[in-house]
């Protein structure tokens, strides 16, 4: 777009100069000045720094031109990995200086979507091991115990029933009770 505008300006100046009877040397000199002005404008573009990480091929800090978008940052980072889910992001969003962009995996994006659909609460009857592990105090072993308990007992009938799991007493339960549902 900028080149078209510059070319239009040059052509317009040439036409005006021809009408005014300018010499060929003056035309060349004006054209060179216009090219130098364009180069200076290119060098003066404001730059920003962003940090992109997660499921991209080359995570790191990148210098981008102000006005760049997330899809350009992903391209700069070598694209998403095979399991990187770029559809979880607004690829057209303008970047801001100092912004941190995380490219999630398909599984992480699905878990986040499920969590958002569930008002941020994890279902103890349907949550995956990974979802259960997002709860404070629930590691891999406790998450597996929760899944085993619900399979053996036909699911939980109340959220308080979670205290029947070894290692989940009042302390852990009190920390997670607002984050869980049946």
pLDDT of residue 23: 55
Chain segment 17-66, per-residue pLDDT in tens: 555 555 556 656 656 666 655 554 555 679 999 999 999 999 999 999 99
- Cβ–Cβ under 8 Å, residues 143 and 125: no
Q: What is the pLDDT of residues 93-103, one digit of tens each?
A: 999 999 999 99
Q: Would the pLDDT of 75 be above 80?
A: yes
Q: What is the pTM of this model?
A: 0.46
């Amino acid at each position: 777009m900028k080149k078209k505008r510059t070319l239009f300006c040059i052509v317009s100046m040439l036409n005006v100069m021809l009408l005014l009877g300018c010499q060929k040397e003056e035309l060349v000199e004006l054209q060179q000045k216009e090219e130098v002005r364009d180069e200076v404008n290119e060098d003066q573009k404001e730059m920003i720094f962003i940090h992109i990480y997660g499921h991209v091929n080359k995570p790191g800090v990148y210098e981008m031109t102000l006005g760049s978008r997330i899809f350009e940052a992903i391209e700069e980072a070598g694209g998403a990995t095979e399991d990187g889910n770029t559809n979880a992001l607004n690829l057209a969003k303008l970047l801001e200086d100092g912004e941190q962009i995380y490219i999630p995996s398909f599984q992480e994006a699905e878990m986040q979507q499920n969590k958002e659909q569930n008002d941020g609460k994890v279902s103890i009857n349907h949550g995956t091991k990974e979802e259960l592990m997002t709860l404070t105090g629930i590691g891999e072993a406790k998450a597996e115990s929760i899944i085993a308990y619900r399979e053996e007992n036909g699911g939980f009938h109340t959220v308080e029933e979670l205290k029947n799991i070894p290692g989940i007493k009042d302390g852990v339960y009190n920390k997670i009770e607002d984050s869980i549902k049946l």
